[in-house]
Chain A
Amino acid sequence: MDAGNLLNLKNQALAVISEAETKKELSELKVKFLGRKGEVNQLLKNLSDLDPDQKAQTGRLLNEAKTAITQALRQKTLKLSPAPRDWLDVTAPGKTFPSGHLHPITQAIEEVSRIFERLGFTRVRYPEVDWDWYVFEALNMPEDHPARDEWETIFIDAEENKKMGKMVLTTHTSNGQVREMERAGKTLPGKTPIRMLNIGKCYRRQQDRTHTVMFHQFEGLVVDRHIGIPDLKGTLNHFAREFYGPKARSRIRPFNFRFTEPSFEVDFSCVHCLGRGCRFCKSGWHEVGGAGLVHPNVLKAGGLNPKVYSGFAFGWGIERCYTLKPGLNLDDIRLLYSSNLEFLNQF
C-alpha cells in the first residue's frame, strides 16, 4: 500500500458521497468505507507489513482520510434530512424567568463610578450623619454665614461636640473633601495625590418634583501640585461625553461657593438640540451643579499646604444628572423613592 492508494480511496469516497441521493445510499456507503470490513480497515490491515517509519506516516494519512469521510457523510446526511414537519409558533412568548430590576439610582451610580474609575478616581464612602465641621465649617463656611441658607440643613437632636459642632445630616457629599485629605495624609503621607469620587446619600429640607428630602450626590476631588481650571474642564468634558454621548459638551460659568475659589456652575449641552436651544432646555444648556478650585482654607483644614497643592472639586445630584438622559422623560424624581412596582419594573 502506498500514499497514492490512500489518496485515491479518499477522493473516491468523497465523490460518491457527494453524489448520493438518499439516506439509504449513505448508510451503505458508510459500511462500504468505514465498516468493520470496509475499505479503510482493509488498508489498515496491511499496515503491519510496513517498516516503522512508513507505518507512522501512513497511519496519520489513514486517520485523516477517515476523518474526512466521516465528516462528508455527516454533512450529506444533514442535507438529505427533511425539514421538521411539525408546525412551530416562533412568535409565541418565551418561557418566563424571574426578572427583578436594579434601581435606576444604582444603575446611574454604577455608570458614574465606571466613568471616573477609568480616570483613576477612587470611590470612597463617608458618613451620612456628620459634624458641622466637615459639612460646613472646614469648607470655609463659618456658623451663621448667609451661604448656609442654601443648604436647607437637617439637624440631629444630639449634644454638640465642642470641637466639631452640631450633628447634621450631610447636605452634600462635600463633607468627604476634608475627610479624604485627612485619609490621604495618613495613608500617603507627604505625597497626597487625591482623585476621589464620593457617592452618597444627602438630605435637605426640600420635597417637590425636582427635589427629594433624601437624594444622592457624587463628589469629585482632585488634589495635587499644579492643578488648574483646564484639569477641571477636561474632566467635565470627559464625563459629559461618557454619560450623555460623544456629542455632549460641558461649560463652566461663574458662581460662588465658599469652599471653592474660583467657583463654577456646570452646564451640559442639551442632548436634544446639541446646544442650539429647544423646548427641553430653553438655552441649549442644562445646569447640573457646582464645581471649583479648592479654596486654600479648605486645603488648610485638610492639613495641606495651599502654597504647594491645589485642586478641583465638583458635586452634583445623581438624580439630576440621570433625569437629563435623552429619552428618559422622567420629570418627577419623587417616583424614584416611591417603591412603586409599576415604576420599578420599567428599569
Chain B
Amino acid sequence: MNISIPHSWLKEYLKTSAGSEKIGELLSLCGPSVEKIRSVAGDAIYDIEVTTNRVDMMSVLGIAREAAAILPQFGFKAAFLPPKLDPISPPQTPLPLTVKDPNGLCPRILAVVLDQVSLGPSPQKIKSRLEAAGLRSLNNVVDVTNYVMTEVGHPTHVFDYDRVSSHSLLLRKAKPGEKITSLEDKTYALPGGDIVIDDGSGEIIDLPGIIGTANSVVTPDTKRIIFFLEANNPVKIRRTSMTLGIRTVAATLNEKGVDPELGSTALKRGVMLLKELTGAKVASKIFDLYPQKPTIQTIKLPLQLIKDRLGVDISGRKVKQILENLGFFFSIDKNEQLSVKPASFRTKDIAIPEDIVEEVARIYGYHKLPSKLPLTQIPTNYPDENFHLEYRLKNILADSGLNEIYTNSMVSRALTSQSGFSINNHLKIKNALSADWQYLRRSLIPSHLEAIGQNPQAKSVSFFELANTYQLRPGKLPEEKLTLLLSTTNDFRYLKGVVDLTLQKLHLAPTFKPQNAVKTPWLDGHTAAIILKNQTLGCLGQVLTPEGFPHKQVNVALFDFRALSQASRAYPAYQPLSPHPPIIEDLTFTLPEKTYLGPVIAAIASCHRLVKAVALTKTYRQNYTFNVTYQSPTQPLTDKAVAPVRKKIVVSLKQKFSADLVGNLR
C-alpha cells in the first residue's frame, strides 16, 4: 500500500538533523521504500510504499518511529517524539450511550459522545495535509477522523448522536442478504456473517471498519456526535470488503490487523482535534470495551542464528541497540540466547526468529553485509529435460530462415474452433481479462495462423515456436505437452526441406507417411505423418486458413518435442571413408502418376549394399532423374561391378512401382 506523508507533518513527531532527501534515501535502504518526493507549496511530500505486513508504518507516527531507528545508523541524530495527549475528563451529567458486543466480535471498542459541535470547513493546514495524503477534505468533523487515521494509523468513525435515536450501539453478525446503504448512497446486500452495528431495533447503522452508512453519519445539521473506534477481525473485514468491492482506506488498514493498543492514542488525539477544530465538548464517559489485551509472545533465538544469516560477527550489544530503537524488549543470557518481545504494534509481523534476523539485518544495513558465492555442494540430480537441444533446434530453424515467435497460451473461443479439438476439450479460464484470452490452447496452429495473418504485407512468412499445449485431464492438472510448430506461407516442398535439414542435424532419418482422412485444420492428401521406427514424431502438411486470409496457403510441421528429443542423436554412426572412388550416375525413370517418391528413393537406396546415396535431381513431367552413388569400402568399382546393381534397381522399381527406365541398360 502506498501512503503520502508531508515532511512538515512527519517533523512533528521526528526530531532529526537529516533533510527530506536524506530521510527518503535512507528509509528506502533500510525500511519502507520512498518511491518519490514531491514538492507541494514548499513542503516535501513523501510517496512511500509500505508492505502489507507493516500496517504499523502506514501512518505519520509509524514512519517517524521507523526513521528514528534508521537514521542514527548513518550518523544522523534522530529521536521519535511521541504525541502529547491531553487526558479526557468526562462531564458531571453524561449523555446516555450504550455500546454492546455480546459475542466479542471486536477485540476492542472505544466510544465517546461529544456535543456543541459546530460543523464547518477545516483550517487550511488540515485541508492541505489531508490533500497531500490523498484524502478529500469534507468538513471539520469528518476531516478529524481522516487526520487521526493518517497520523496514528488507526481508522476512526463518527456517528450523528441524534440520528442514532436509541443511543445504543450493538455489534452483531449480519444475516445473508441484509441491506445497507453506504454514506456514498450505494446500496449493498451483505453476504452474511459480516460484522455490523445495529441500533438495537434490528436496523444496521454502520459497517464498522469498512464504511459508514447513510442513516447514521453526520449531516450539515449535526450537533452531537459519537466518536467511535474499534479494532477488528482482519479476516472478516477483508472478506466483507472484497465481496462487496468496498475498498476504503479504513478497510485496507483494518484487514491488515491494526494494533488495538493504538486505540487510546487515536481516541485522545481525535478528541483533542475535535475540541480544537469544532469547539466540541466531551459529553459522555469513555467506553472502552477491551476484554482481553493481546498477549505478546517472547521469541527466543541464539545470537549465532543472526551471525549465521548475516555473515557478520555482530555483538549482542549492537543487536540490543537496534531492537530497542524499534521499540522491542530485549535480553541476552550468558549462552548468547536472546529473548525478544516485539512492541504491541509489531506482534502481527514479528513471530519467529527469522523475523528478528530481518529486523537486525535491515537496520544494521544490507549494504554492509559481505557478498560471496555459495560454497555448498553442487547438485547433479538433473531433471529429465533437454534444454540444450531446445536451444540447438531453435538455432537450426532460425538459421534456416524461420523467425521464432512467442504467442499467447491463452486463446479466444474463435481460435479454439480452428484447433480441431472441441471446445469442451479445452481448459477454460474463470476470470479472463479479455475475450481474446479465454481458453488454454490445445494446438499452436490457430495461434500461428493468427500471427501470420497479422503480417499481411510480407511476401512470405515463416515462423516457429516451442510452447506447451494443455490437455485436459479430469481431476488432475492438465498434461502440458511441449510442442514445436513450424509454419510458413511457402509451399510444402519448402517446409519439407526445412524439416529434412532439421532432422538430418539431429541424425534422424524418418519416413513420411501420406495421411488421408485427417481432421481439421489439416488438409486431406496434403499431410504426412513423420514416423521413426513405428513412432510418430510429428505431422507435416497444409492447413486450412480462415476466410479472408491474406496469404495463399499455410503449411505447418508439428512435432511432439519430447518424442523428438528422445529420438534425437547428438552424433551419427560414423561410416568408414572409402579409399576407393565412387561411381556416380543419373538414372531416369518414368513413374506412373501419383507415385509417392519417398518409397521410390528408399527402394533404390536399400536395393544393394553398393548404393551409397540417392538424390532426386530433375523432374520433367512423369520422368524423374535420380543421382545414384555406388561405392565399395573394399575395392575400386568398375562398370562391370556396378552393372548388376543397376539392373537390380531397374527390376525392383519396375516390380514395386511399375517404373520404366528411360534409355537402355548398359
Binding site for B on A (CB under 8 A): 97-103, 105-106, 110, 113, 119-120, 122-125, 127-131, 144, 146-147, 154-159, 161, 167, 169, 183-184, 187-188, 191, 193-195, 201, 203, 205-207, 213-214, 222, 224-231, 233-235, 237-238, 251-256, 261-265, 293, 295-296, 310, 336-341, 344-345
Q: Within 8 Å of chain A (Cβ to Cβ): is B622?
A: no
The answer to whether B401 and A230 touch across the interface, beta carbons within 8 angstroms, is: no
Binding site for A on B (CB under 8 A): 28-33, 51-54, 235, 238-239, 242, 252, 255-256, 308-311, 349, 352, 354-355, 357-358, 361-362, 366-367, 369-374, 376-383, 385, 387, 391, 394-395, 397-410, 427-434, 437, 440, 450-451, 454-455, 458, 461-464, 467-468, 470, 474-475, 477-478, 480
Closest to B360 in A: A262
Give the chain A neighbours of B29 by CB distance below 8 A: 253
In order of increasing CB-CB distance, the 5 nearest A-B pairs are: A98-B401, A262-B358, A256-B51, A120-B378, A339-B451
Give the chain B neighbours of A338 by CB distance below 8 A: 454
CA distance A342 to B373 in the complex (A): 42
**Given known contacts A224-B377, A344-B403, is B52 in contact with A147 (CB within 8 Å)?**
yes
A107 to B: closest C-beta gap in Å: 9
CA distance A98 to B462 in the complex (A): 11
CA distance A120 to B440 in the complex (A): 34
The answer to whether A229 and B379 touch across the interface, beta carbons within 8 angstroms, is: no
Which of A201, A228, A237, A264: most chain B Cβ within 10 A? A228
The answer to whether B401 and A231 touch across the interface, beta carbons within 8 angstroms, is: no
CA distance A11 to B433 in the complex (A): 88
**Given known contacts A251-B366, A296-B352, is B475 in contact with A195 (CB within 8 Å)?**
no
CA distance A205 to B436 in the complex (A): 13
The answer to whether A193 and B405 touch across the interface, beta carbons within 8 angstroms, is: no
CA distance A235 to B375 in the complex (A): 11
The answer to whether A100 and B407 touch across the interface, beta carbons within 8 angstroms, is: no
Give the chain A neighbours of B461 by CB distance below 8 A: 341
Give the chain A neighbours of B379 by CB distance below 8 A: 120, 122, 184, 188, 193-195
Q: How many A-B residue pairs have CB under 8 A?
A: 241
The answer to whether A100 and B401 touch across the interface, beta carbons within 8 angstroms, is: yes
The answer to whether B377 and A193 touch across the interface, beta carbons within 8 angstroms, is: yes
A165 to B: closest C-beta gap in Å: 12
A-B contact pairs, 28 of them (CB 8 A): A98-B401, A100-B403, A103-B403, A103-B404, A103-B405, A113-B387, A122-B380, A124-B383, A124-B385, A125-B383, A128-B468, A129-B440, A144-B239, A144-B242, A193-B378, A226-B308, A229-B310, A230-B310, A230-B371, A234-B373, A254-B366, A261-B357, A293-B309, A293-B357, A295-B354, A339-B405, A341-B403, A345-B403
Give the chain B neighbours of A156 by CB distance below 8 A: 427-430, 440
B440 to A: closest C-beta gap in Å: 7
CA distance A183 to B381 in the complex (A): 9
The answer to whether A229 and B366 touch across the interface, beta carbons within 8 angstroms, is: yes
B252 to A: closest C-beta gap in Å: 8
The answer to whether B455 and A339 touch across the interface, beta carbons within 8 angstroms, is: yes
Contact partner of B370 (CB less than 8 A), chosen from A169, A233, A336, is A233
Give the chain B neighbours of A125 by CB distance below 8 A: 383, 385
CA distance A158 to B428 in the complex (A): 8
The answer to whether B429 and A344 touch across the interface, beta carbons within 8 angstroms, is: no
| Given A213-B434, A263-B358; 8 other pairs, CB 8 A cutoff | A99-B399, A146-B252, A154-B410, A201-B468, A214-B408, A226-B376, A256-B53, A341-B461
**Given known contacts A146-B256, A213-B410, is B391 in contact with A106 (CB within 8 Å)?**
yes
Give the chain A neighbours of B362 by CB distance below 8 A: 254, 262
CA distance A301 to B405 in the complex (A): 37
B409 to A: closest C-beta gap in Å: 6
Contact partner of A337 (CB less than 8 A), chosen from B51, B401, B408, B474, is B408
Give the chain B neighbours of A251 by CB distance below 8 A: 366-367
CA distance A155 to B451 in the complex (A): 26
Give the chain B neighbours of A337 by CB distance below 8 A: 406-408
CA distance A156 to B437 in the complex (A): 12
CA distance A146 to B369 in the complex (A): 31
**Given known contacts A188-B381, A214-B410, A230-B371, is B427 in contact with A158 (CB within 8 Å)?**
yes
CA distance A237 to B358 in the complex (A): 20
Give the chain B neighbours of A167 by CB distance below 8 A: 477
The answer to whether B475 and A159 touch across the interface, beta carbons within 8 angstroms, is: yes
The answer to whether B54 and A256 touch across the interface, beta carbons within 8 angstroms, is: yes
Closest to A98 in B: B401
Closest to A164 in B: B477
The answer to whether B311 and A229 touch across the interface, beta carbons within 8 angstroms, is: yes
Give the chain A neighbours of B405 by CB distance below 8 A: 103, 339, 344
